[in-house]
Amino acid sequence: MHSLPSSTDNLTLHLAILICEVLPPPVSCLRGPFDQIFQNFFDRGAKRLSEDNHDEQWPGIKKQIQVRTTPYNATAGQLPDAEALEGLDALVVTGSSAGAYEDIEWVKKLGRFLQDTYQQHPKVKIFGTCFGHQIINQSLFAHTGGLHVIKNPRGWELGVYEITINPKFASCFPRQLKSAARASSPQIQLQLSHQDTVVVTQSAQLPPECVEVGSTALCGMQGMYVPNRVLTLQAHPEFDREVNGACIRLIVGLDWPAEEIKEYLRMTDKDDDAALMEEVVMEFLLQGSKS
């Protein structure tokens, strides 16, 4: 016979952070390395959901959501082995200055690993931002002929951009995006820092469970969602304005026109909807979880 749970019930998620870029000191000195930035991102989302989350089976029981992360330096070929995967709830693939299409050994190894995990470990979710979004989509869905990754001929997205959310995606997360789901043209603002892009060429070729997240004027594919399995975002919701500003300063260097640099930095120094996306990501990671 099962005893009633206590009034506070703990739920812990274990995530592997696959680090695809060792952040340089001008960036890491602000908020730490990539794994710490993501740990903070998940902690904020978990705290927000814990404050507004009650178990449906036991009304009045409040869940305390905790997130434990283990970093793996993917650029050095470090990835979870089969035993480690058995203890994971999700993989998290970070951003990178590398291209998902480049002939780089660690990139190719990561792509094969993501394919194998998706096919052989259905209980392990996969989440990624920026480069993570690109390599996840390329690894899992490019073979269908429905999409590919290229350098965006429209140029860079640097700073906070307005993302038009696909109402179908919004309807999958009604608690966070209910107003967006009702709107004819729902929009949110997020930090971006990329030139490569995922291009959907034949949406009918993609698995029917795939749901595109949204689009911007410069980038037609801002993320992909597969319920209980995959969530990718072209944006960097884990970056605040200081971190993204530091990244942009490194990208532009001294070669770009001063007025152009000034404008990108101005766009970075804007309010965004990262807090909302923290909750969306945490909701995704909790899908199917049991205390």
Query: What is the count of structural domains for the chain?
Result: 1
Per the domain annotation, does 252 fall within a domain? yes
pLDDT over 90 at 185, yes or no = no
Q: What is the dihedral of CA 42, 36, 247, 109, to 10 degrees?
A: -90
Per the domain annotation, does 175 fall within a domain? yes
Are residues 159 and 247 in contact, defined by beta-carbon separation less than 8 angstroms? no
Per the domain annotation, does 14 fall within a domain? yes
Residue 179 is predicted with a pLDDT of 65
What are the strands, taking DSSP E only, across 75-186?
A: 90-93, 125-129, 147-151, 157-165
- Most confident stretch, 108-117, 180-189, 281-290: 108-117
282 pLDDT band, cuts 50/70/90, is very high
pLDDT over 50 at 2, yes or no = no
Per the domain annotation, does 149 fall within a domain? yes
Per the domain annotation, does 19 fall within a domain? yes
Mean pLDDT of 30-46: 97
CA distance 269 to 160: 8
CA distance 195 to 94: 16
- Let me know if 112 is exposed, middle or buried by CB neighbors in 10 A (0-12, 13-18, 19+): exposed
Per the domain annotation, does 198 fall within a domain? yes
Regarding predicted confidence, which is higher, 5 or 123?
A: 123
Residue 226 is predicted with a pLDDT of 98
CATH number (domain holding residue 80)? 3.40.50.880
Per the domain annotation, does 291 fall within a domain? no
**Residue 135 belongs to what domain range?**
10-286
Is the pTM here over 0.75, yes or no? Answer: yes
**Tokens found for residue 37:** 């930035």
Residue 7 is predicted with a pLDDT of 47
**Tokens found for residue 204:** 């009918």
Q: Which amino acid is at 235?
A: A
Per the domain annotation, does 158 fall within a domain? yes
Q: Using DSSP bridges, classify how beta strands 147-151 and 62-73 pair: parallel, antiparallel or unpaired.
A: unpaired
Q: What is the dihedral of CA 171, 190, 201, 232, to 10 degrees?
A: -70
Matching residue, tokens 């966070």: 176
Query: H or E stretch including 69?
Result: strand 62-73
pLDDT mean across residues, the chain = 91
CA distance 121 to 116: 8
